[in-house]
Amino acid sequence: MELFDNMMLGFTTALSWSSLLACLIGVTLGTFIGVLPGVGALAGISLLMPLTFNQSPTDAIVMLAGIYYGSIYGGSTAAILLNLPGSVTSAVTCFDGYPMAQNGQAGKALAMTTLASFIGGCFSIVLMMAFAPPLVAVAQSFGSPEYFSMTILGLLAASTLSQGSPVKGIAMVVLGLIVGLVGTDIQSGVARFTFGQRELLDGISLVVLAMGLFGVSEILINFTSLQQATSRQKVDTSWKAMWPTRREWRSTSGSMARGSVIGAVIGILPGAGAAISAFIAYSVEKRVSKTPERFGKGAIEGLAASETANNSAAQAAFIPTMSLGIPGSATMALLLGALLIHGVQPGPLVIQTNPDLFWGLIASFWIGNLLLLILNLPMIGIWVRMLMIPYHILYPCILFFICLGAFSARNNPVDIFLVILFGLVGYGMKLLQLPAAPLLLGLVLGPMAEEHFRRALLLSRGDASVFVTEPISAALLGAAAIIVAMSIRASLRKRRQVKAARQAA
C-alpha cells in the first residue's frame, strides 16, 4: 500500500504540465546529443544545465535525467549505421549492430535497439520502485577488494569477446591496461608516460580511443578497399521488415532478461557504469550461446543483450546517486551538483525530505522511456536514409564530427591527433585481425582495477589475503577462475578436434 501511495505521488508530480514538458525536452535533446559523435551525456548536461536554473528542483532533475538516458538511447544510432560509437556505452553496439547494417538490416537493428533499451530501462525502474533500500545495502557492501575482483572478472571475460585465438584477446586487454597507465598517478600525483605533455596529464580519453578504433579505422578500411562503392545499399524500413520475427523474439528474450539483470546489478555499484555492464552482458551472451561464432557478424542476441544492459545500468545508476548521495560517474556528479544548486541535499534523507522529487523522478522515467520509444521508432526511416548518402560526401562529414567531438569532450587539441593515431592503430589491427573490444575494455577497467587494488592493500596494511577472505571478493575471483578453466578446456578441445581432423584426412 505504501508503494502504491508513493507511485501515486510520483505520477501526480510527473504528469504536471511543467514536468511533462521538461521530460519531453530532456529526452529529445538527449537523443540528438547521443547521435553526435563524442559529445555524450556529460558534455550535453554541462552545456544545457543553465536552462534549468529558473525551474523547480523536480523539473530540473527530470530534464537533466532525460538528457542522460536519452543520450544513451541516441548513442546507438551512429554506432549501428556508421560504426561510430558516440560514447563508450555504445561501443559494444558496433560489434553486431554495424554488421547487421552492412547486411541490409539497419532498420531491424535500430528497432531492436529501441525495444531492448525500453525493456532494460523499465526493468531498472521496477527495481527502483520496489527494492531501492535493499539494493542500496548491496552497493554499500562493495569495498575496494570487491571492486578489484569484479574488474578482474571483467578483464578475463573480455578475452572471450575476441574472435579466434583467446591469446589475441588477452594481448589486447594488456595493451588496454598499458594505455590506461597514461596520466597522473591517483595515489602519488606523479605523471606517468606523458612524455612531458601537459595535455596527457588527464590520461587518454575513452571517447577518443573508441572513435579512433571504430570510426576512423572503418573509414580507412573503406577508402583502401578495392570494392569501394559510391553509395550504400537500400534498406527496407517498412514495419514488417523492421519488426523482429517470432523466432528473433524467442532468441532475444533470454538475452534481454540477462542483460537487464546484469545492467541493474552493475548500475547500482558506484563507479561501475553502463559501459562495463554492456561489455559483460555481451560476453555472457556469447559464452552461453550455442553458436558463438555468429557474434561479431550480426548476431541480434548480442545487440539486444548489450543495449538492454547499458540502459538498465543507466537507470539503476540513480539508486546510489539519489539514495546515498554517491555519484557513480562524472555525469551523476553533475546531476548531484544540479540538486545542490536548487537547494536539495542528496543522501539517505532525500526520500523523507523531498518525496515529491524522488518519486516524481522515478515516475518520469516511465514517461521518458515511453516518449523515447514513440520518438525513436518513427525516426528509424530518417536515420536509415543516412546510408544512402554517397561515401565522398558522408566520410568528410563524419571526420569533421569526429574531430569536433574529440576536441569538445575535454577542449584538448591533442585529442584530435590522438583520435587519428588510434584510427591508424585500429586500421592496422583490422589488417592483422586483432580484436578492438578487449583493448577498449582494458582501458575502461584498468584504472579502476589499479585504484582499488592499491587502496585495498593500503587498508589491509599490505595483506593480500583480503581479496580471498572477503566473501563477495572470493566469489568473484572464483568466477574468474572458472572462466579461465573453461577457456583452457575449450582450447584443448579445439586442439584435439583439429588433430583428429588431420589424422582422418
pLDDT digits 0-9 by tens, 359-378: 888 888 888 888 888 887 77
Mean pLDDT computed over 345-358: 72
| CA distances (Å), origin 73, targets 24, 47, 209 | 14, 19, 21
Question: What is the per-residue pLDDT for 2?
Answer: 66
Mean pLDDT computed over 38-62: 76
Query: Is 95:140 a contact under the CB 8 Å cutoff?
Result: no
Residue 418 has pLDDT above 60, yes or no: yes
Instruction: Look up residue 367 and give its three cell numbers.
Output: 514517461
pLDDT > 90 fraction of the chain, expressed in percent and rounded: 0
Mean pLDDT computed over 394-412: 75
Lowest mean pLDDT among 198-202, 336-340, 362-366, 388-392: 388-392
Query: Is 94:77 a contact under the CB 8 Å cutoff?
Result: no
| CA distances (Å), origin 380, targets 30, 111, 258, 404 | 16, 7, 26, 25
Question: What is the per-residue pLDDT for 1?
Answer: 55
Domain membership of residue 54 (yes or no) is yes
Residue 227 has pLDDT above 70, yes or no: no
Q: Which domain holds residue 488?
A: 10-504
Domain membership of residue 124 (yes or no) is yes
Residue 158 has pLDDT above 70, yes or no: no
Q: CA–CA separation, 383 vs 387, rounded Å?
A: 8
Residue 224 has pLDDT above 60, yes or no: yes
Reported confidence tier of residue 229, pLDDT bands at 50, 70, 90:
very low
pLDDT per residue over 104-151, tens digit each?
787 788 888 888 888 888 888 887 777 665 655 666 677 788 888 877
pLDDT per residue over 474-494, tens digit each?
888 888 888 778 777 777 777
Domain membership of residue 1 (yes or no) is no
Query: Is 48:29 a contact under the CB 8 Å cutoff?
Result: yes
Which carries the bigger pLDDT value, residue 449 or residue 21? 21
Reported confidence tier of residue 231, pLDDT bands at 50, 70, 90:
very low
Query: Is 439:176 a contact under the CB 8 Å cutoff?
Result: yes
Residue 421 has pLDDT above 60, yes or no: yes
Residue 91 has pLDDT above 80, yes or no: no
Residue 330 has pLDDT above 70, yes or no: no
Domain membership of residue 313 (yes or no) is yes
Q: pTM score, two decimals?
A: 0.68
Strands (E), 160-237: 183-184, 191-192
Question: What is the per-residue pLDDT for 126?
Answer: 81
Lowest mean pLDDT among 163-172, 190-199, 288-297: 163-172
Residue 18 has pLDDT above 50, yes or no: yes
Reported confidence tier of residue 3, pLDDT bands at 50, 70, 90:
low
Domain membership of residue 499 (yes or no) is yes
* Alpha helical stretches, state H, 347-470: 350-353, 355-384, 391-410, 414-431, 437-459, 466-469
Mean pLDDT of the chain: 78
**What is the tally of structural domains in the chain?**
1
Residue 281 has pLDDT above 80, yes or no: yes
Tell me if residue 52 falls in helix, strand or coil: helix
Domain membership of residue 4 (yes or no) is no
Residue 404 has pLDDT above 60, yes or no: yes
- Residue 417's CB is within 10 A of a number of other CB atoms, namely 14
Domain membership of residue 450 (yes or no) is yes
pLDDT > 70 fraction of the chain, expressed in percent and rounded: 82
| CA distances (Å), origin 10, targets 61, 318, 368 | 14, 16, 14
Domain membership of residue 64 (yes or no) is yes
Instruction: Look up residue 316 and give its three cell numbers.
Output: 539503476
